[in-house]
Structure 1
Amino acid sequence: MSSQPAAPAKLDAAVLKIAGVVVLGAIMSILDVTVVSVALPTFQTEFDASYARVAWTMTGYTLALATVIPLTGWAADRFGTKRLYMAALVLFTLGSGLCATADSIGQLIGFRVLQGLGGGMLMPLGMTIMTRAAGPERIGRLMAVLGIPMLLGPIGGPILGGWLIDVASWHWIFLINLPIGVVALAYAQWALPKDAPEPSESFDFVGMLMLSPGLALFLYGVSSLPETGTFADRKVWLPMLVGGLLVVAFVVYSFKPKHPLLDLRLLRDRNLTVASVTMAVFMVAFMGAGLLFPSYFLQVRGESTLDAGLLMAPQGIGAMVTMPIAGMLADKIPVGRTVPFALVLIAAGFFAFTQVDTDTSYLLLCGSLFVMGLGMGGTMMPIMTSALKTLTNHEVARGSTLLNILQQIAGSVGSAIMSVILTSKLNDAPVIPGVVDPNTGAPVTEAGLAIAVKQNPDLAQQFPVDPGLLQRGLEFVADSFATTFWVGFALVLVTFVPAFFLPRRRQVSHLLDDEQAPAPVLIH
């Protein structure tokens, strides 16, 4: 094979032009997960539905993501990344417009699923497009660029969602995607290179019938766990069991066809396997507990949705400081030498949240979030860089698909675990004698009343109880959050185990322009 010309050290204008398309699509997809999270109370009021019911506007979106991601690798090879990326943008934008027209919670959930079918393809396709465009020597830098929406989504989503609902209406959290989608489509048509699809591969229908329903059922069961509070509920264990069996059956089957729906043969690459395990454990720990940070500000401290979002901003600022640096270092220094230091920062910042009470200093908490952000910027993208760096061009689409599925599953499992722990702890709160919920007739706990009064002080007039009782309830809630954060902190510490096996010597990249077969993987 002829030697390849050296790639420029920096991301040139041609690569940045393509990166702009990918970042725009990724921002739309990721932002829409977090924007909707702040609208759930509004949906409860607008559609007269329970919290468990409206939460499916998020769960349905996640299930759609997990279902469609396995198809992305095959479809990218078959139809070409440009065509598929533009089709995903159309589907996502169409789903957004339909969401804004919904006049029932059932319609909204259905349209969110449609939105997720488009959104699920944007991230793995974006990673494939950018990896091919930048070349092997600049993977770290391009991952730093792609990491921007991954960080801005969780930070900017609650702020944007809270602001749009305050100044306009809930419809605008979806309508805002329409002009962005049109611009992204025009930009993609102009900027993305012409497709060179490879129609020779056959589609793995048998694999699809096992993997996509299996993932959807398993995540449905996991997502039902916070609502039921126990694995013993049939709504939890039955879909988890059936889904798990389908996924296991797919794993056994996937080594037989030449072109499986999800190429698990890639895990023979030790580097990809170690990076995948590290990423999965990290996502369980951080995504699970990370979603509860704003909830602490809302429920214990009584902040508005917008203010809770603003209080989370230091985390994004910290990540933006280190992510470009980590991207450059990932191209020069093995990630096994840098990621553990970033994990130390995350653990140090996380520890402060295990000590929260009803009046913990905001300076301490925001400082801790900033330190965690510094660690995040040096963790996520370098791990993904390590995972993809020794794959060939032909394997990148399938490798990024595998990583995206692991992230979705790990994030969903982490969120469910943390929600169940917090809910279980709050359910142990003492019941207030003689006080019942006027809507449901259920007994009211000290913790439940404390949260309600903190968020809506007018309720103190409807439930004239001893202020000392409210304070005691609020302290119980704060302690429940602290206990849950201890679990998250312990999981962050577990991440050090697989991180220890990340490569500590320079990796040889096989992302060449004209390879046809998987190249050998050099791991030292």
Structure 2
Amino acid sequence: MAHSDSSTSLMDSFRQPKAVWAVAFACVISFMGIGLVDPILPSLQTQLDATPSQVTLLFTSYLVVTAIAMLVTGWVSSRVGAKRTLIIGLVLIVAFAALAGASGSINEIVGFRAGWGLGNALFIATSLAVIVGSASGGFSGAIILYEAALGVGIATGPLLGGVLGNISWRGPFFGVAVLMLIALVATIVLVPATPTPTEKSSIIEPITALRHRSLATTSVTGLLYNWGFFSILGYAPFLMGLSALKLGAVFFCWGILVAIFAVFGAPMLKSRFGTPRTLYAALFGMAVVCLVIGIFSGDRWAVIGATIVSGIFVGLNNTLVTTAVMSIAPVQRSVASATYGFVRFIGGGLAPFAAGKLVEHYNAHVPFIIAAVAVALAAVVLSTVHGALVAADAEEESAHSHERADAEEAVREIPAIEDEAVLAESAYRDDQKFGRPVETRR
């Protein structure tokens, strides 16, 4: 029964209004930007005469600025409205992606990636709120759709980066600029105007929200998990010794697993085992993958295999940690999204740069062993809100049970209504046949 319910919920997640699909498409392109540069990292190092740690700053500037800017997304959105905030974010991404493609040095690209991160923050936080607010199929369905967009974007980003990067390292940046321009037009045309909220958000609200233990705990879990995630995403390409096209293929396979387990695996496993147990297993699996890369960092095929397999655990964690944050945070979901985004992207931004520096000072084993410890610690931190996660699952199941009961009751009433209609029609004809006054029969 649970499996059937999760399948039905999954189907409902993809029956959405045009506006939701427009934002989801823009999300796909936006998330492409995360893995887009993976296949060209070695090319940038060679052609722009940079060190690995300098090249990993492409992730750091992008994600750290995204994290900090998450603090102001609610403040901006509450003053100009959600649609205008989406448009501002998309315009910034188009502009800075194109400028990065036109750059002549690694420092210029790092700087323009920071501007790209500002646009990304405005777009990501607002797009999640728009999808949750506009999507049919309930909150969980909206999260699944959002994570589906994330999975598809992460999967296709490296593939596009590999194909265009095989021509020139500039190609991926210009490619994203063009695709985001399409997403911008779709958002302007298909997303209806949103009213400016009557209540204005405070710029410090996402920070003060961290005083709530449940939100702070799940956000720290996200930070530690993202440390492992972006250690792999940001530094593993340097250990593979592959061309841009082959790196794109590796991370495409990785991204496909991210998408499959974010969209299909997470709801199914959550339905069967619950959120906390599924997350503990996913975090443990991620820690093992990081440890394998750390131990066998000199073995190209071990690194490639472990990187691809990590997509399973990335997909599960992305969906379930986001759902957990939104489910148990005692604040508005827009504030919870901004707070969580701020904390987790700090971890994601610092990890690749730290990995580069650790390799320069020690060796390639160290950053991934540290990443394994960080992800294992994430499971320990998460266990401190185990009860809240179980309660959130029970509340969601109770809501689904009520919905199923209402639906089944409605279905049972249909034959009775139909029988009543048939009897009424028959009585009406008898009255006409025998000349009885119709109005005397009820």
TM over 0.5: yes
Q: Cα offset for 1:390? A: 4.4
**Counterpart of 1:208?**
none
- Aligned counterparts of 2:297 and 2:99: Cα–Cα separation in 1: 42
**Counterpart of 1:161?**
161
Matches for 1:186-201 after TM superposition, within 5 Å: 186-201=185-200
Contact 1:141–1:328 (CA under 8 A) maintained in structure 2:
no
**Counterpart of 1:504?**
390
Match of 1:311 among 240, 247, 250: 250
Partner letter of residue 481 of structure 1?
A
Q: Cα offset for 1:365? A: 5.2
- Aligned counterparts of 2:53 and 2:186: Cα–Cα separation in 1: 39
**Counterpart of 2:335?**
398
Q: 1:190 to 1:348 in 2, by over 3 A?
A: same
Moved more, 143-152 or 125-134: 143-152
Moved more, 189-198 or 376-385: 189-198
Q: Deviations over 1:355-406 (max 9, x none)?
A: 316456x3x65554454322222222111111112458x8222211111111
**Counterpart of 1:112?**
113
Q: Deviations over 1:100-131 (max 9, x none)?
A: 34456565454434333212211111111112
Is 1:29 paired with 2:30? yes
**Counterpart of 2:173?**
174
Is 1:424 paired with 2:375? no
Contact 1:287–1:411 (CA under 8 A) maintained in structure 2:
yes
- Aligned counterparts of 1:378 and 1:52: Cα–Cα separation in 2: 29
Matches for 1:310-389 after TM superposition, within 5 Å: 310-324=249-263, 325-327=265-267, 330=270, 334-356=274-296, 358-359=298-299, 362=301, 367-389=305-327
Equivalent residue pairs, number? 384
- Aligned counterparts of 2:123 and 2:268: Cα–Cα separation in 1: 25
Contact 1:347–1:372 (CA under 8 A) maintained in structure 2:
no
Matches for 1:1-12 after TM superposition, within 5 Å: 9=9, 10-11=11-12
Q: Cα offset for 1:56? A: 5.0
Contact 1:280–1:407 (CA under 8 A) maintained in structure 2:
yes
- Aligned counterparts of 1:84 and 1:499: Cα–Cα separation in 2: 32
- Aligned counterparts of 1:481 and 1:53: Cα–Cα separation in 2: 16
Higher relative CO (Cα under 8 Å, sequence separation at least 6) belongs to 2
Partner letter of residue 323 of structure 2?
T
Q: 1:78 to 1:297 in 2, by over 3 A?
A: same
Contact 2:289–2:309 (CA under 8 A) maintained in structure 1:
yes
Contact 2:223–2:345 (CA under 8 A) maintained in structure 1:
no
Contact 2:90–2:119 (CA under 8 A) maintained in structure 1:
yes
Contact 1:158–1:309 (CA under 8 A) maintained in structure 2:
yes
**Counterpart of 1:236?**
none
Q: 1:55 to 1:366 in 2, by over 3 A?
A: closer
Contact 1:281–1:410 (CA under 8 A) maintained in structure 2:
yes
**Counterpart of 1:129?**
130
Question: How much identity, in percent, do the aligned residues show?
Answer: 21
Contact 1:317–1:370 (CA under 8 A) maintained in structure 2:
no
Structure 2: gaps of 5 or more residues: 1-7, 397-442
**Counterpart of 2:374?**
491
Contact 1:318–1:374 (CA under 8 A) maintained in structure 2:
yes
Contact 1:70–1:405 (CA under 8 A) maintained in structure 2:
yes
Q: 1:56 to 1:372 in 2, by over 3 A?
A: closer
**Counterpart of 2:423?**
none
Give the structure with the larger helix fraction: 2
- Aligned counterparts of 1:350 and 1:35: Cα–Cα separation in 2: 21
- Aligned counterparts of 1:100 and 1:287: Cα–Cα separation in 2: 23
Is 1:15 paired with 2:16? yes
Q: 1:58 to 1:335 in 2, by over 3 A?
A: closer
**Counterpart of 2:438?**
none
Moved more, 157-166 or 98-107: 98-107
Q: Cα offset for 1:86? A: 1.3
Under a length normalisation based on structure 1, what TM-score does the superposition of the two structures give? 0.64
Q: 1:367 to 1:144 in 2, by over 3 A?
A: farther
Matches for 1:255-274 after TM superposition, within 5 Å: 259-274=202-217
- Aligned counterparts of 1:496 and 1:58: Cα–Cα separation in 2: 25
Q: 1:175 to 1:383 in 2, by over 3 A?
A: same
**Counterpart of 2:101?**
100
Q: Deviations over 1:401-450 (max 9, x none)?
A: 1111112211123223333322211xxxxxxxxxxxxxxxxxxxxxxxxx
**Counterpart of 1:288?**
231
Instruction: Say which one has the larger Rg.
Output: 2
Q: Cα offset for 1:277? A: 2.0
Under a length normalisation based on structure 2, what TM-score does the superposition of the two structures give? 0.75
